[in-house]
Structure 1
Amino acid sequence: MTTPAHPTATPTPPSLGVAAIGYAFMGKAHSNAWRNVASFFDVPAFEQKVLVGRDATAVAEAATKYGWAESATDWREVIQRDDVHIIDICAPGWTHAEIAIAALEAGKHVLVEKPLANTLAEAELMTAAAAKARARGVQSMIGFNYRRVPALALARELIAEGRLGTVRHVRAAYLQDWLADDQSPMTWRLRKETAGSGALGDIASHAIDQIQHLTNETVNEATGTLRTFVTKRPGNQGPEDVTVDDAVWATLGMTGEVGASVEASRVASGQKNSLRIEVYGTAGSLLFDLENLNELRFLDATVPAREQGFRRILVNEPEHPYLEAWWPQGHIIGWEHTFTHQVRDFLTAIRDQTPPSPSFEDGLQIQRVLAAVEESAANRSVITPVLQPIFAAQGA
């Protein structure tokens, strides 16, 4: 009995064929990146071959709008096509494992949106498949696009250069308000079986990735609290149970004796898409807010106290990460550019046959932290402080 040969990665063709699976929010963002990346960066030749979705009419309309040559409804057929070399998975998390593993086994390079999967078990299977595929020259990457914000990329450089000295602690808060209204309708993002988790996997995963990426340290312990403030939402057939969290708080221990805290909420009224990161070291500090993504605040604690204070760095000089490709200094870029940078880095890694970052292993590490926070929230002990009446300490 002979063992069937594993598919091998197709030698890089003159033009790489790309298929994107999913055409909603993330599909639109990724499509915009594929449509524009070659206009600004030196990348291998590629073609937007096919956009895949379940609704034939809707995906056909999206394909035309977003610059894809054609549309399809069966991703299994698409990954077997000889003219498709890259699979970009923009579909919801419950589909990631099945699609990614099948694509990798078919010899396709895979880019998948975060979080890697809905469960730790699925993430482990995906990472194992990616490792096997990598040995055959097949690349894979997870889409933590905030690594490609130029100001955050500059922050990582400054930390690596020692400008902050020894990093002691990091604070990250990712706050949104799109679920603040109790009457906001039920969606797949509010069901555990389809979303995996709520604010924890959706946005806290970004914060945790940034904490590890910026400091180059790894989370090795976690305590967490999860809260669901609105337990039922209006559904098509009446009220439905919300089975994921609205908000999460976590305290993280890290290698290098770094301490970190993470807060994430989708019910923070007035906060539209605010990811705030603070990094404090012995020689300086950094502040960042995604709602001002072209700016980084830096404090040099090595100068005399009379000269200290946070100074604003407008991150749009050609010397700053990624910005040599865009506009003259003083002309800012936006959130959508992070996806363009992500596609640029992925295509470059395929061309140069170098492992792209963040890898599926990086995604698996984040998944382990998410699972630890969730387990801690479920099993934590609660200590109620004993409150003494104020007058008890006073004389009669």
Structure 2
Amino acid sequence: MTSSSPSPQFRDVTSPKGTNAGNTPLGVAAIGYAFMGKAHSNAWRNVASFFDVPAFEQKVLVGRDAEQVAEAAVKYGWSESATDWRTVLERDDIHIVDICAPGWMHAEIATAALEAGKHVLVEKPLANTLAEAEAMADAARAARARGVQSMIGFNYRRVPALALAKELIAEGRLGTVRHVRAAYLQDWLVDADSPMTWRLNKETAGSGALGDIASHTIDQVLFLLGDTVTEVSGRLHTFVDSRPGADGPERVTVDDAAWATLILASGAVASVEVSRMATGQKNSLKMEIYGDKGSILFDLESINELGFLDATAPVREQGFRRILVNEPEHPYMDAWWPQGHVIGWEHTFTHEIRDFLRAIDAGTPPSPSFEDGLAVQRVLAAIEESSDAKSAIIQVSTR
């Protein structure tokens, strides 16, 4: 391990402090081996090589196809594979469950895992419905009282440049934030002949671009500003309403794009735009934050860079300056490479796993919590309700 911080002490997982007895490694099970399962597995495989974290073992990878999950387990560094997540939850050697399965499975698996005394990390969005998200937050709150921790995987909180942006805003470098422009644009559905997938079916995906990428965008607004949403006006749109399926055309039942205006408790206003039909945009999460003393610009496709304008400087010296975020003083960067050697998208998951493990070891609630995921889910539900009501303003609960 390259970090200079001292190795953590290990504690009992059943105690209020949180980890496991006898300094034995924490056993990890991951559920799901596709896109997110691969990203998370990469993080589990590499995190201890760069950060001081509690000892753990990649015990088991779970998936529905026995042959495919067995192959993935070998490739991704898991000791074994399984097809029944319920049986895995019964094992005493499993202390952490990492849920990378589709959203329609989140509520059932996470609730069962928490009740079984397992620490839980679940991919965003928290659930497919507001009711499921509320139930998951209740389960997490009850488990936390027993020393069982939970976290939702909004990995973009772990982009060093965005973590630095959070620090600058908290330090008052932007002054009073007045408005935010947030856009997450992709183009992987531009071709009308792209085949039908579970992500285009409301029963399995919950929503389309709204839950898939607006969840990230809204979480960034709340994370960076430390604020809450009180009112929403939104619109959803489906550009291609039918896709080729195995037995012919199938109806698309989710949105391709979404737009929303968010009113925040502080008085700031955020505009949000997301699309999976933005030709030429591969994975562009853009954040623009404007305050009375400064502004910040970020684009995920330039992940190591942050634009910062100091409006308190003399006018003749003002202008956005490029901060290359890879100095040891920047968030997370002291564990990686020498200055000028950039990191990538996959590192956000490594940082996420680091923070999750350290919180478990310390017995402190990790962030973002299921309650944070629920806050985002409430905004998503309000956008959908507003769209159904043709741009009505929807009040958002902050309970």
TM-score (norm 2): 0.93
Between the aligned partners of 1:368 and 1:376, the Cα distance in structure 2 is 12
2:3 maps to what in 1? Answer: none
Letter of the structure 2 residue corresponding to residue 130 of structure 1: A
Between the aligned partners of 1:123 and 1:216, the Cα distance in structure 2 is 21
For the pair 1:184 / 2:167, whether they are aligned, the reply is no
1:325 maps to what in 2? Answer: 335
Between the aligned partners of 2:151 and 2:391, the Cα distance in structure 1 is 38
Q: How does 1:13-28 map to 2 (within 5 A)?
A: 13=21, 14-28=24-38
Letter of the structure 2 residue corresponding to residue 28 of structure 1: K
Secondary structure at the aligned position of 1:328 is classed as: coil
For the pair 1:356 / 2:361, whether they are aligned, the reply is no
Deviation, structure 1 residue 380: 2.1
Secondary structure at the aligned position of 2:326 is classed as: coil
Aligned residues with identical type, % of pairs: 77
Deviation, structure 1 residue 81: 0.3
Between the aligned partners of 1:258 and 1:217, the Cα distance in structure 2 is 9
For the pair 1:123 / 2:133, whether they are aligned, the reply is yes
1:211 maps to what in 2? Answer: 221
1:388 maps to what in 2? Answer: none
2:9 maps to what in 1? Answer: none
Q: How does 1:143-162 map to 2 (within 5 A)?
A: 143-162=153-172
2:83 maps to what in 1? Answer: 73
2:183 maps to what in 1? Answer: 173
User: What CA deviation, in whole Å up to 9, does each residue of 1:36-69 have, x standing for no partner?
Assistant: 0000000000000000000000000000000000
Which of 12, 21, 40 matches 2:20?
12
Q: How does 1:308-323 map to 2 (within 5 A)?
A: 308-323=318-333
User: What CA deviation, in whole Å up to 9, does each residue of 1:244-277 have, x standing for no partner?
Assistant: 0000000000011010000000000000000000
Between the aligned partners of 2:112 and 2:246, the Cα distance in structure 1 is 33
Deviation, structure 1 residue 11: 5.0
Which has the larger Rg? Answer: 1
Secondary structure at the aligned position of 1:380 is classed as: coil
User: What CA deviation, in whole Å up to 9, does each residue of 1:172-200 have, x standing for no partner?
Assistant: 00000000000000000000000000000
Is 2:235–2:391's contact at 8 Å kept on the other side of the alignment? Answer: no
Secondary structure at the aligned position of 1:363 is classed as: helix
Letter of the structure 1 residue corresponding to residue 70 of structure 2: A
Deviation, structure 1 residue 304: 1.3
Secondary structure at the aligned position of 2:220 is classed as: helix
Q: How does 1:299-314 map to 2 (within 5 A)?
A: 299-314=309-324
Secondary structure at the aligned position of 2:334 is classed as: helix
Letter of the structure 2 residue corresponding to residue 61 of structure 1: E
Between the aligned partners of 1:315 and 1:58, the Cα distance in structure 2 is 38
2:94 maps to what in 1? Answer: 84
Q: How many residues align structurally?
A: 376
User: What CA deviation, in whole Å up to 9, does each residue of 1:192-233 have, x standing for no partner?
Assistant: 000000000000100000001001111111000100000000
Deviation, structure 1 residue 239: 0.2
2:66 maps to what in 1? Answer: 56
Cα RMSD for the two superposed structures: 1.1
Which of 46, 49, 61 matches 1:36?
46
Between the aligned partners of 1:239 and 1:64, the Cα distance in structure 2 is 37
Q: How does 1:172-251 map to 2 (within 5 A)?
A: 172-251=182-261
Q: Post-superposition, which runs of at least 4 consecutive aligned residues in structure 1 deviate over 3 A?
A: 7-11
Between the aligned partners of 2:249 and 2:391, the Cα distance in structure 1 is 32
